[in-house]
Structures are given as structure tokens and as C-alpha cells.
Amino acid sequence: MSDMRTLGEFIVEKQHECPSVSGELSSLLSSIRLAAKIVNREINKAGLVDIIGASGNENAQGEQQQKLDVYANEKFKAAMAARDQVCGVGSEEDDDVVIFSEKHGPNAKYVILIDPLDGSSNIDVNVSVGTIFSIYRRVSPLGQLATMEDFLQPGNKQVAAGYIIYGSSTMLVYTTGNGVHGFTYDPSIGVFFLSHENITILNKGSIYSINEGNYITFPKGIKQYLKYCQENKPEDNRPYTSRYIGSLVADFHRNMLKGGIYLYPSTATYPSGKLRLLYECNPMSFIMEQAGGKASDGKQRILDIKPIALHQRVPFFVGTTDMVKKIEEFLERNSD
């Protein structure tokens, strides 16, 4: 139940926990909040206006873009460009980063990486989708244009990260490294109210989320782990429940609140994994660790991976700590 504190009020109240960004973070999240409201409005009109379906273009990974992908991408980039704190944006939908060269750009302190509309193909069938964002302090000198080095930072350098889930209600969830907090949107007055303060994931999970349709292409360790999940072991809280929506934000959000693990391993089709390190895995890993969970590529902590490419993909396992440790055990046991 909301305690009627708004997102803006809560950020100001918690500024002392992150003095290095203080009012700047409030401004950044304010721009994300505004873009989220605009995108939420369009999503809620899907089916009534010509905003669903494929756009006819492909994104940087050769995937078919949906019309709402393009719309959300432009709205979030425009919101970032309007702020004095952002020197550049990297988007999953663009081939390259966008460097802001006008006015404040060279003197802005932060870069933002964003997946404007995760799970957008689900829009057509009225399934929850989301926006994922990640904020870093630039490492290049102030007064100059941002460089690729500013964007290719490991996830442990994130200043803040979050997501917006557009579902039965619209929620904005974020962390600055001091816990995870969720805000639910009241469309009648256009305000995000605090509804989930200090979210923590359960110590024992009972849900696993994976596209089992790809089973035949999974590594041996993943196949064995799925059998483990399905074993009848009541004393060990098994069998686990299989829940897979096919929208990362929705699956992640449910598992963080209910206790579980999300898995997107390497496959024969995607030997390096399918999810993007910078736009999806890093921000979600930061959030999950702050909620008391764990995130791994099967061998190492996601947040310690040094990116080498803007659209780099990695295997991704995130959720309840014990469940992620168990999948690492299965993968190590079958590493040859």
C-alpha cells in the first residue's frame, strides 16, 4: 500500500545516501519518469491507434523493430537530451551511441544506457513490457565530448539503475546502491507513489523462468539443472514452479517479489547468450544484488565483466542467491 510519498519526494529524502549525485540524480530520474509517462500513455492505446506491429526496420542486432520500440527510443533519448546532466545515450535500438554535442553535452557528468521497450513483441497480445535503464558517471574529461570508454564500463561502476514495468499497473523500480524501491503510477493524477520500499528477495525461491522450448539447444549443465528443478523433493521445496512470460522485466519483477531465478543460457543459436550486457544484464544485476540476490553468467559475477562491445551479449542467470549458486555448480560440473 502506498504511503503517499511521491517519487520526487522520496529521492530528495534519500539524497544523503548518495551525496555524490544528489540533485543531479533527482533531475535524471525526473526525465526518465516523464518519458515513462508518455510511453505508458501510448502503450495503453495499443490496439486503438496505429502503434502496434512491426515498423519494417531492424535494430542494431538485426532484430525486427516494433513501432513502439522506435517510439519509446525517441522519447527517452529526447528526455535525456533535455537535461544538463547527460553527455550521451546508448540504446539497444541504435547501432552506435548518441553523443550530445550541443550546449551542456561536453560538461555533463553522466551517460545513460537504455533498453527503451523490453519485450515489445508482446504488446500485440497485451502482455507486460518494460523499460530498463542504467546510469554511469563519465570517465572522460569534462569539457570534451563523451567517448566510447564512458559507455564500456563494468556494471559495478553504475551510479543507478532501474526499470519501468507497464503491466496491470505501471511501476518504476530503481536503486542507487542503497536498496531497491518501487513506485506505482496513479494515472488519474499522473504521479508515481512509493508502493514497495526496500524490496528484498526471499532466501528460498520456488520459481524458475526459462524458455524451455529451446531445451534441445541448451548446454548439458542447464538440462541437468532443469531436471533438478522438476524433481519431487518436498523437503527441499521442489519441484519448483515454471513461470515464463517472455518479457525480461516482467519475469524479473515477479521473481524478485516472489523468489525465483531467471535463466537465459547460451544456446546453439546464441553461443554467447542472447541478452545484452549493457542494456539488460548490468542494470538488472545491480538491482537484484541490492535486493539480496545474485546475478551470474554461469561462471562469474555479471557486474565484474569488462565490456568490450556496445551490444555485447552474455548468458544470464539472476535471482535468489542459492538458486544462482546451484546453476553455477551444474555448469561447472559439466564444463567440458
Does 263 count as an annotated binding residue?
yes
Does 119 count as an annotated binding residue?
yes
Q: State pTM to two decimals.
A: 0.93
**What CATH class has 7-196?**
alpha beta
Does 63 count as an annotated binding residue?
no
- Are 257 and 163 within 8 A, CB to CB? no
pLDDT of residue 55: 43
Does 117 count as an annotated binding residue?
yes
* pLDDT beneath 70: ranges in the chain: 1-3, 17-22, 46-65, 336
Does 264 count as an annotated binding residue?
yes
Report the first-to-last Cα separation within the chain, whole angstroms: 50
pLDDT in tens, 79-122: 998 888 899 999 999 999 999 987 778 999 999 999 999 987 77
Peptide bond into 219 cis (omega under 30): no
Does 280 count as an annotated binding residue?
yes
The H-assigned helical ranges of 112-219 are: 148-151
Tell the CATH topology of 207-333.
D-Maltodextrin-Binding Protein; domain 2 (3.40.190)
Does 121 count as an annotated binding residue?
yes
Does 279 count as an annotated binding residue?
no
Rounded distance between C-alpha atoms, residue 100 and residue 80, angstroms: 9
Q: Hey, what's the torsion of the CAs at 150, 152, 153, 154, to 10 degrees?
A: 170
Does 9 count as an annotated binding residue?
no
Does 2 count as an annotated binding residue?
no
**Average per-residue pLDDT for the chain:** 90
pLDDT of residue 68: 84
What are the residue boundaries of the structural domains of the chain, listed by start? 7-196, 207-333
